Amino acid sequence: MRETNQPIKKLVLTGNGMAGVRMLEHLLKLAPQTYEITIFGAEPHPNYNRILLSSVLAGGADMNDIIINQLDWYTDNAITLHTGDPVVQIDSAARRVISSKGIIADYDELILATGSSAFIPPLPGSDKDGVIGFRDIRDCETMIETARTHRKAAVIGGGLLGLEAARGLLNLGMDVTVIHINEHLMDRQLDRPAGLMLQQELEAQGMKFLLQKRTVELTGKRRVQGLRFTDGSSLEADLVVMAVGIRPNIQLAQSAGLKIGRGIIVDDYMRTSVPGISAVGECAEHRGIGYGLVAPLYEQGTVLAKRLAGVETLPYEGSVTSTKLKVSGVDVFSAGEFQDTADTRSLRIQDDIDGIYKKLVMRDGRLIGAVLFGDTSDGASLFSLIKSGESVSGREKELLTGQPAAGAAAVSPLQRLEAMPDDEIICGCNGVSKATVADAVQNKGCTSMKSLKACTKASASCGGCAPLVEGLLQLYAGENAGAAVKEGICGCTSLDRDEVVSEIQRMGLKTVKEVMHVLDWSEPEGCSKCRPALNYYLGMLWPGEYEDEKESRFTNERYHANIQKDGTYSVVPRIYGGVTSPADLMKIAAVAEKYNVPLVKFTGGQRLDLLGIQKEDLPKIWEELDMPSGHAYGKTLRTVKTCVGDTFCRFGTKDAMGMGIKLEKAFERMDAPAKVKLAVSGCPRNCAESGIKDVGIVALDGAWELYVGGNGGVKIRAGELLCTVKTEDEVMEWTSAFLQYYRESARWNERTAAWVERVGLEPIKEKLADEAVRQELVSRLEETLSYTTDPWKKIIDNDNLRKNFEDLNGAAALSGSSPAGH
């Protein structure tokens, strides 16, 4: 508790990035209510994890996924946050700052955490459109937008950042070439053999490389069109990403008269040359060194936070750095001095078959550097030895191979972890030590990886330390590892699917926001996992009452089209059972011709797919087709595949097409936890592939067999026989009951194959064998379907059609896509 006669000091943080805010988190724990805190950030976002920008670019995360501190964290800690408004002037004499929008803030302590900017070499043409760096979320958005309309990308810089950018652009469907001035990739982290192995792996993924090339000019008029090199060769490119390094943002400090080198010069307690002003992070220069890795910046922040809190602290004396990461799915570790010199000895193993390379560098009997490629499991223990400086004489080969020397006892992985110092940094991205992990497991009940991640942030960024964190979890939790903490439907809640649904029913919750608020979601806005799930559960529980939230649906469902890798869209009209008419074919042909559709293709689900459609044409195309959507994008019924049955086939025993059309028309607007595919085969020859569908129906002489839980995707699963019935009405009844039971009890995004495996076929059979239960399930599904209309038809009938499409372009749209109709 603070003394009331002790005035609260004013602290201003300029820069809302990882280093500065992490320092504040530490300060708030050490000395809550000591400072009145104001933050000025240049970007229009709360604090986010820049390490995960490559995941955003690659499509594995969106903006919400990488936010570290949501806006209410600032509110909860009484922090005044000014986003999109950097500080532009410091008056150190009056101890106040002025922002770009004219906001004046007084301070007792000013922390400069202005970070760094991408270095754009002053080449002729570097100011053209299409030339960018890779430092913030806006750069990611620019690359994603460019990939929709352009094809050739060049990345200048073969370091970590450049390779991450290249991997993301490859995922966006671009033709990517990496230009690097040196003879091998990542030459600051890897020696030549490891660099060449990395290059071979990335070339196999589709990346192209031009090594030992120096760019002299970016060609083109207003927009970049290519690069020219010193040897006279050239390369076409309509996007150029500069990833050749960073420059500390020192302009603000320089204008205020602070001592400047390459960065803002600080002492061992992060104080600058002007009283009352400190600096931390990539903008700071300590003992002539500026750090770009997260772990050293967090170490700086810890010292600064302790000083500001009045807690005794050792000085910051610099950091021994290591890099452990995944480069396009390849594990890489590097630490210390890894290049051979006249006074060093080295040991190495190279296995080109399994893609593994290990190198240790020693000087005077001590380990001073290491490079690991392909297998980085020993990285933490090696790094600990490098930092400690202890002698490794006689143990060199043991360290390299993991095998003890002759006569020595074997050391288990857990014993190695036990011997690791408590202050060893386990997660470099988030500065988490072994002691922090131990405390979380032993004193806070974190006995699963998910709970550990939520509590400590260990492995929450790049994930490279996950095996080490799992090892410590096993060390400290033993048999209880993974048992004590129940996994929720997402990271926003500890409640599982059944608990969420039960609480919605019990408390009569009727909106997504209400569920999150009443059930104490940790993230009040939810995430891309729970929002669509809650939207589905509410619609399933309250048909006719619940109003579907379009902002809680994935992008494809909101556009009613599948986004393709080139940024265009694919439109799939409904074709019941694969049976169409001349009139519908002419309608599809007319639309395809009018809008210059590049490709019309039959899908695996017996439908026509119009590919390559521009986003702005989607509303009119649907309007002119005047056909129901085939929902090739939705968690709903996709298709009912049929053979021609006894209508034409000499082997057919029943009307497969008629049965398929009947099923498709009955369930075409049915929302489900995941996509659903049906098939009807007119005989046991199974030409419609009924054995690998969610529900597959096979005609026999005088009967129908119903198979369920099949899947023909990545993990193939044969359907299991649910029942054999005699009439088409019974087929409809059992199919309807099965689908409704699945709708009511499956987890969000759980296909019937996984659901049947989890629940077991026998309990499902037992449930549906009760006729009364079966009829209740059928009735509930019919009630739900009575309230639904084709969502696309509803949109095109709306007077605000164009406005709806503008809304769909908003940043709140959830990302997500899946192949159409396969």
Residue 723, annotated ligand binder? no
State pTM to two decimals.
Answer: 0.58
pLDDT in tens, 232-250: 999 999 999 999 989 999 9
Residue 2 has pLDDT above 50, yes or no: no
User: What burial class does residue 204 get, using C-beta atoms within 10 Å of its C-beta: 0-12 exposed, 13-18 middle, 19+ buried?
Assistant: exposed
Instruction: Give the DSSP per-residue string, 550-576.
Output: GGGSBHHHHHTSEEPTTS-EEE-B--G
Cα R_g (the chain), whole angstroms:
30
What is the residue whose two structure tokens read 């050792």?
314
Residue 446, annotated ligand binder? no
Q: Inter-axis angle of helices 434-444 and 449-456, to 10 degrees? A: 120
User: 565 or 151: which carries more pLDDT confidence?
Assistant: 151
User: What burial class does residue 483 get, using C-beta atoms within 10 Å of its C-beta: 0-12 exposed, 13-18 middle, 19+ buried?
Assistant: exposed
Distance CA 8, CA 218 (A): 54
User: Do residues 109 and 35 touch, judged by C-beta distance below 8 A?
Assistant: yes
Residue 129 has pLDDT above 70, yes or no: yes
Q: What are the residues whose beta carbons fall under 8 Å from the beta carbon of 240, sequence distance 6 or more?
A: 130, 131, 132, 153, 154, 155, 156, 218, 224, 227
In this structure, the number of other CB atoms found within 10 A of the CB of residue 634 comes to 24
Distance CA 475, CA 337 (A): 31
Residue 359 has pLDDT above 90, yes or no: yes
Which pLDDT band holds residue 413 (cuts at 50, 70, 90)?
Answer: low
Across 455-464, 487-496, 740-749, least confident range = 455-464
pLDDT for 105: 97
Which pLDDT band holds residue 812 (cuts at 50, 70, 90)?
Answer: very low
Provide, rounded to the nearest whole percent, the portion of the chain with pLDDT above 90: 46
pLDDT in tens, 568-584: 777 778 787 777 888 88
Which pLDDT band holds residue 379 (cuts at 50, 70, 90)?
Answer: confident
User: Do residues 280 and 20 touch, judged by C-beta distance below 8 A?
Assistant: yes
**DSSP annotation of 37:** E
Total count of residues recorded for the chain: 822
Residue 683, annotated ligand binder? yes
pLDDT for 277: 98
H helix or E strand, kind and range, residue 347: strand 345-351
pLDDT for 410: 56
Query: Which three-class secondary structure string do you get for 379-418?
Result: HHHHHHHHHHCCECCCCHHHHHHCCCCCCCCCCCHHHHHH
Query: Which three-class secondary structure string do you get for 128-197?
Result: CECEECCCCHHHHHHHHHHHCCCCEEEEECCCHHHHHHHHHHHHCCCEEEEEECCCCCCCCCCCHHHHHH
pLDDT in tens, 658-668: 999 999 999 98
Domains of the chain: 9-115+248-309 (3.50.50.60), 131-244 (3.50.50.60), 497-552 (no CATH), 636-789 (3.30.413.10)
| Nearest-5° Cα angle at 731, 730 to 733 | 60
With CA atoms as reference, report the closest residue to 698 among 665, 660, 664, 738: 660
Residue 305 has pLDDT above 80, yes or no: yes
Most confident of 67-76, 275-284, 649-658, 794-803: 275-284
Amino acid at 387: K
User: What burial class does residue 232 get, using C-beta atoms within 10 Å of its C-beta: 0-12 exposed, 13-18 middle, 19+ buried?
Assistant: exposed
Question: What's the mean pLDDT when you consider all of the chain?
Answer: 85
What is the residue whose two structure tokens read 């399994």?
354
Q: What are the residues whose beta carbons fall under 8 Å from the beta carbon of 477, sequence distance 6 or more?
A: 441, 447, 484
Structure tokens at 724: 């054999």
Across 291-295, 530-534, 808-812, least confident range = 808-812
pLDDT in tens, 170-191: 888 899 999 999 999 999 889 9
User: 563 or 86: which carries more pLDDT confidence?
Assistant: 86
Distance CA 806, CA 795 (A): 13
Amino acid at 662: K
Using DSSP bridges, classify how beta strands 599-602 and 608-613 pair: parallel, antiparallel or unpaired: antiparallel
pLDDT for 809: 41
Distance CA 607, CA 677 (A): 13
User: 609 or 657: which carries more pLDDT confidence?
Assistant: 657
Q: Which residues of 144-156 are buried (b: 16+ CB within 10 A; e: fewer)?
A: bebbbebebbbbb
DSSP lists the bridge partners of residue 723 as 706
pLDDT for 564: 60
Which pLDDT band holds residue 603 (cuts at 50, 70, 90)?
Answer: low
User: 471 or 709: which carries more pLDDT confidence?
Assistant: 709
Distance CA 361, CA 729 (A): 76
Distance CA 695, CA 708 (A): 5
With CA atoms as reference, report the closest residue to 365 among 389, 346, 384, 391: 391
Residue 649, annotated ligand binder? yes
pLDDT for 566: 62
Sheet containing strand 703-708, edge to edge, reads: 637-642, 676-681, 695-700, 703-708, 720-725
Which pLDDT band holds residue 345 (cuts at 50, 70, 90)?
Answer: very high
Which pLDDT band holds residue 795 (cuts at 50, 70, 90)?
Answer: very low
